[in-house]
Amino acid sequence: MKTVLITGCSSGFGAEIARYFLSRDWHVVATMRKPDPSVLPSSERLTILPLDVTSEESIAAAIDAAGPLDALVNNAGIGWLNAVEGTSMAMVRQIFEANTIGTMALCQAVLPQFRSRKSGVIVNVTSSVTLKPLTLLAVYTASKAAVNAFTECLALEVKDFGVRAHIVLPGRSPETKFSETARGRIGAAGGFPEAYAGLVESVFANFASQDPDEITKSVDVAEAVWRAVNDPAAPMRLAAGKDAKALMPA
> Would you name the residues annotated as active-site residues?
140, 144
Q: How far is CA 208 from CA 106, 200, 201, in A?
A: 36, 13, 11
Most distant CA pair in the chain, distance: 56
Burial-class residue 90 by CB neighbours within 10 Å (0-12, 13-18, 19+): exposed
Nearest Cα residue to 99 out of 130, 69, 75, 131: 75
Rounded-to-integer distance, Cα 214 and Cα 146, Å: 26
